[in-house]
Amino acid sequence: MAIACPVDLDILKLRAEIRSIYARVAADPSGEFHFHRGPHYAAQRLHYDAAELSRLPGTVTESFAGVGNPHAIAPLPAGATVVDIGCGAGTDLLLAAFHVGPRGRAIGVDMTEAMRDRARRGATARGLAQVEVREGEAAALPVEGESDETPSPRSGAS
């Protein structure tokens, strides 16, 4: 298995483009994009619980652009610590926070400032003090390993 990209890929340019696209999604979720977004997509295509999605602020769910439903895997136990890598506007992050409850922790990591802001505002709007949103990328997570911040086995990208 290759550990480096075999073509001349400008990783910095790629990261900048990803940030730019998701900043546009945060600014105008109804804009033209090459991927699906929003709560209807999440419920219809990815089988999210529509009642649970309705508990979240529209400013969070309208920018949802996930590719899978990690909540369909298994229930999250109360008190767990969950890390959502690529948390975006916070749909999966805030749903996880509801499940782990006030004794748990839900840590979101995202590289796009506008999405992190949406996630933080959504957590505040729902009184989810157990949510923390951090700047970072999947290749260099800002989460301590082998500590009280060790993610649960269900951690993953949304």
* DSSP assignment string, 96-158: HHHHH-TTSEEEEEES-HHHHHHHHHHHHHTT-TTEEEEE-BTTB-SS-SSSTTPPPTT-EE-
Q: Mind listing the domains of the chain with CATH numbers?
A: 75-157 (3.40.50.150)
Strand pairing class (105-110; 156-157): unpaired
What is the predicted pLDDT for the residue at 148?
53
Instruction: Give me the residues paired with residue 106 across strands.
Output: 82, 131
Distance CA 97, CA 131 (A): 7
What's this model's pTM, rounded to 2 decimal places?
A: 0.86
Tokens of 17: 């483009």
> Given a cut of 70, is residue 139 above it in pLDDT?
yes
pLDDT tens column, 41-60: 999 999 999 999 999 999 99
Tokens of 93: 């992050």
Label residue 122 exposed, middle or buried (CB < 10 Å: 0-12, 13-18, 19+): buried
* Cβ proximity of 126 and 56 under 8 Å: yes
What is the predicted pLDDT for the residue at 82?
97
Distance CA 76, CA 64 (A): 20
What is the predicted pLDDT for the residue at 151?
47
Average model confidence (pLDDT) for the chain? 90
Selection from 62, 86, 65, 82 nearest residue 73 by Cα: 82
pLDDT band at 7 (very low <50, low <70, confident <90, very high): confident
Backbone φ, ψ for residue 139 (5° rounding): -75, -15
